[in-house]
């Protein structure tokens, strides 16, 4: 009776390995020792090829469909696809060694691999930590290539994401290679994660200026700017009564934001409000310090000497 790759002899209950079956077949044409070795090699190659074919024809496409459902981008799917292929090949090699009659060798190899894995794991803790963090970045997708992100005191545009590091181009055109663990362990700010972004712009006016008029100008300029959305509507809040100014904060929204849009829109908006303030006679005060009291000046007296 035959079960899977193994042949069972009913009367003796002996299980014959596939490599032995192949060797018995080849022994009719070749010497026994050559047939045995060749049978093991043929069995190993056939089993390995079968696993590779199944992996490429069924397993990898299945993983691709799962990744598509997750919405992963192509740069994220490519390394995961390679990792899947490596896993399939590794399993194929393990099974092929066993079916080829190299079970003892496989056990020895597994023992050596386990010891090597432990040693490598202890020596490469940071690399493994960054690798695991890279997997979380691919699955959680806190940012994508082309996004503007901020963390700690750094910011820039994401240029590349790998399993170990993420490369970010700063706004000074510097390329930062950031370990993935740094990005997963810290708070990441992604201003462009959504389709809209709110800008907060602070203005200061003098205590003698008309708050209502200043508010009217700020809102009007927001409504006139082509890149500022009408909904949600621009708004202004009185936020501070400072030492030398009254603080007004404008809150406006822009669509499909990027770093360039953010800076450009903000600069144009502030410039227009400043020009309108000048035309309306509304001042933007700067910090001043008033000193009170008097100043006493000491006039040195000439010392006189008398001759005896």
Which domains, and CATH codes, for the chain? Answer: 2-123 (no CATH), 143-185 (2.30.30.60), 196-280 (3.30.70.100)
The residue-averaged pLDDT of 70-77 equals 65
The candidate with the shortest Cα–Cα distance to 3, out of 11, 12, 16, is 16
Question: Mean of the per-residue pLDDT values for the chain?
Answer: 78
For the segment 10-16, the average pLDDT, to the nearest whole number, is 48
168, pLDDT greater than 50: yes
pLDDT of amino acid 140? 80
* pLDDT tens digits, 265-302: 899 999 999 999 999 998 888 766 666 666 666 666 65
Confidence of residue 30 (pLDDT cuts 50, 70, 90): low
Min mean pLDDT across 15-24, 35-44, 211-220 is at: 15-24
Please determine, for residue 13, whether its predicted confidence score (pLDDT) is greater than 60.
no
Encoding tokens for residue 133?
């963090």
Side-chain half-sphere CA neighbours of 299 within 13 A: 2
Number of Cβ within a 10 Å radius of residue 216: 14
Contacts of 40 (CB under 8 A, 6+ apart): 19, 22, 23, 100, 101, 102
Task: Give the residue, 261 or 76, on which the prediction is more confident.
Answer: 261
What pLDDT was estimated at residue 2? 39
Specify the pLDDT at position 7: 44
Enumerate long-range contacts of 83-90, CB under 8 Å, 24 or more apart: 84/55, 84/59, 84/60, 85/55, 85/56, 85/60, 88/51, 88/52, 88/54, 88/55, 88/59, 88/60, 89/48, 89/51, 89/52, 89/55
- Going by C-alpha positions, the residue among 233, 236, 232, 227 that lies closest to residue 258 is 227
Percentage, residues of the chain above pLDDT 90: 19
* Contact assessment for residue 285 and residue 240, using Cβ atoms and an 8 Å cutoff: no
Residue 180 scores a pLDDT above 50: yes
Q: Give the 3-state secondary structure of residue 161.
A: strand
Tens digits of per-residue pLDDT, 252-265? 998 877 777 788 88
Which pLDDT score, from 0 to 100, does residue 234 have? 92
Token look-up 């993420």 returns 166
Evaluate whether 52 touches 88 at the Cβ level (below 8 Å): yes
Q: What is the pTM of this model?
A: 0.56
pLDDT, position 36 = 63
- How much is the pLDDT for 103? 61
Tens digits of residue pLDDT in 96-149: 777 777 666 666 566 666 766 666 666 567 777 887 888 888 778 888 888 889
Average pLDDT over residues 244-253: 91
pLDDT over 70 percentage in the chain: 70
Q: Is the pLDDT of residue 8 over 50?
A: no
Given pLDDT bands bounded at 50, 70 and 90, which one contains residue 175? very high
């Amino acid at each position: 009776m035959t079960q899977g790759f193994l042949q069972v002899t009913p009367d003796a209950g002996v299980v014959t390995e596939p490599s032995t079956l192949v060797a018995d077949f080849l022994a009719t044409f070749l010497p026994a020792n050559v047939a045995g070795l060749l049978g093991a090699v043929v069995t190993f190659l056939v089993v390995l090829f079968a696993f590779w074919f199944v992996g490429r024809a069924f397993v990898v496409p299945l993983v691709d469909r799962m990744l598509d459902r997750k919405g992963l981008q192509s740069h994220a799917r490519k390394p995961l696809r390679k990792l899947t292929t490596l896993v399939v090949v590794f399993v194929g090699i393990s099974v092929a060694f066993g079916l080829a009659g190299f079970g003892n060798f496989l056990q020895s190899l597994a023992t050596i691999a386990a010891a090597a894995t432990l040693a490598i794991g202890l020596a490469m803790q940071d690399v493994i930590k960054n690798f695991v963090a890279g997997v979380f970045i691919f699955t959680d997708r806190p940012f994508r290539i082309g996004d503007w992100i901020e963390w700690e005191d750094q910011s820039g545009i994401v240029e590349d994401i790998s399993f170990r590091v993420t490369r970010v181009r700063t706004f000074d055109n510097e390329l930062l290679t950031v370990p993935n663990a740094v990005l997963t362990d810290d708070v990441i700010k992604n201003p462009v994660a959504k389709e809209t972004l709110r800008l907060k712009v602070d203005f200061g006016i003098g205590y003698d200026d008309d708050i209502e008029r200043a508010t009217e100008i700020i809102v009007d300029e927001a409504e006139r700017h082509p890149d500022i959305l009408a909904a949600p509507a621009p708004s202004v809040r009185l936020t501070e009564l400072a030492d030398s100014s009254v603080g007004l904060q404008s809150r406006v929204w822009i669509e499909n934001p990027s770093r360039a849009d953010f800076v450009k829109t903000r600069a144009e908006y502030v410039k227009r409000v400043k020009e309108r303030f000048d035309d309306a006679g509304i001042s933007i005060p700067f910090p001043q310090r008033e000193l009170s009291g008097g100043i006493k000046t000491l006039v040195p007296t000439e010392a006189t000497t008398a001759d005896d």
